[in-house]
Amino acid sequence: MFNFAGKTPWKKASAFWTHGEGTTSANGRVLTVIASSYNESTGERKVYGIVTVDLEKQRIIGTLDAKDFPVPGAVPDHVSTSPSGGYAVVSWLAEHGGTRAYRVDFSASTQLAKSSEHSDLAFNRDGQDVYVYTDYQDGNIIAVNIRSGDRFKLAPLYPEPGSSYAAHISGQAFNRPGWVVISSYGATADYGKTELTGADGPYYHRVWLQELTPRGRALAVASTQVDPQVTLPGSDAAYFLEPQATVSRDLSRIMFASNFGSSTIESYTAALPSWMTRD
């Protein structure tokens, strides 16, 4: 996709990647990556900076040196690119600066969240970049308009006293702006002492469509019906039982993981009728 050799300020950088969670702009043109290296003998990962690339013109747009990070040299959890291609979004842990949106030339930045949480970037109905994330301090899934800074709540993370769940978010339906897919897992009550199932409430072990507006519609898609007792030799079953739902660009298909009460974790696809998300 791009040859970085000799094109960045960091001669020792040997890897250019998103740390596995980022994506390009919606048109596939702009990409944000971390420039780093890894020492196999010591297990040390060193970060040199952040780079934005124009894949169409095959040129570097901008660089941000690690010494200019909120905490110099801190390794980001991951990076991504806003759908419009206007922002590089860098996600650090809370003690390293949280999540920030930089203009792709790194001329300015804005704080989106105080930590690094499960999140994704999406278009709102007006084609503006929105950052959607799980905010466990606020207790809600939050949407932030990157340009205006406006933020609003989408769904509660603690629906009842003592109850909670975790969630993943997908904003990849770029051709049908204004929606994200949320998939929940790890639901508990009694402050973590009791496991909940999908039968215990509408937010638990669910996949749903969430409209990106204040008090927007929440449309149920599927119940994952997970059996958490499944064991997989040599792997982390709990991680792979997270549904981690993702959506097609045209909002016609949602794919998610589940074992549906069996001993096998598989991928499932839900087809969505077009009328489901009409006004």
Q: Based on the domain organization, do 42 and 136 belong to the same domain?
A: no
Instruction: Write down which residue in 62, 88, 116 finishes a domain.
Output: 116
Kindly list the distances between the CA atom of residue 278 and the CA atoms of 29, 216, 272, in Å, as whole numbers in the listed order.
29, 13, 12
pLDDT of residue 168: 97
Residues 146, 73, single domain; the answer is: no
Q: If pLDDT is split at 50, 70 and 90, which confidence band does 275 have?
A: confident
Total domain count, the chain: 2
Q: Are residues 64 and 150 in the same domain?
A: no
Structure tokens at 137: 């301090």
Same domain, yes or no: 34 and 165: no
User: Per-residue pLDDT for 221 more than 90?
Assistant: yes
Residues 40 and 141 in one domain: no
Mark whether 134 and 77 lie in a shared domain.
Answer: no
> Which of 27-31, 88-92, 230-234 is the least confident region?
230-234
d(CA 30, CA 130): 17
For the chain, give the percent of residues with pLDDT over 70.
99
Long-range CB pairs of 72-77, under 8 A, 24+ apart, other chains included: 73/46, 73/47, 74/47, 75/34, 75/36, 75/45, 75/47, 76/19, 76/34, 76/47, 76/50, 76/116, 77/19, 77/21, 77/116
Same domain, yes or no: 9 and 34? yes
Distance separating alpha carbons of residues 200 and 197, to the nearest angstrom: 6
pLDDT in tens, 124-165: 999 999 999 999 999 999 999 999 999 999 999 999 999 999
Query: Domain limits at 11?
Result: 1-116
pLDDT at residue 239 in the model: 87
pLDDT digits (tens, 9 = 90+) for 55-71: 999 999 999 999 999 99
Q: Which of 56, 90, 116 is the last residue of a domain?
A: 116
Predicted pLDDT of residue 230: 78
36-94 pLDDT tens trace: 999 888 988 899 999 999 999 999 999 999 999 999 999 999 999 999 999 999 999 99
Q: Does 160 lie in the same domain as 146?
A: yes
For residues 99 and 44, membership in a common domain is answered with yes
Q: Which residue type does 100 have?
A: R
Which whole number is the average pLDDT over 235-257?
92
Domain boundary residue, one of 86, 116, 146: 116
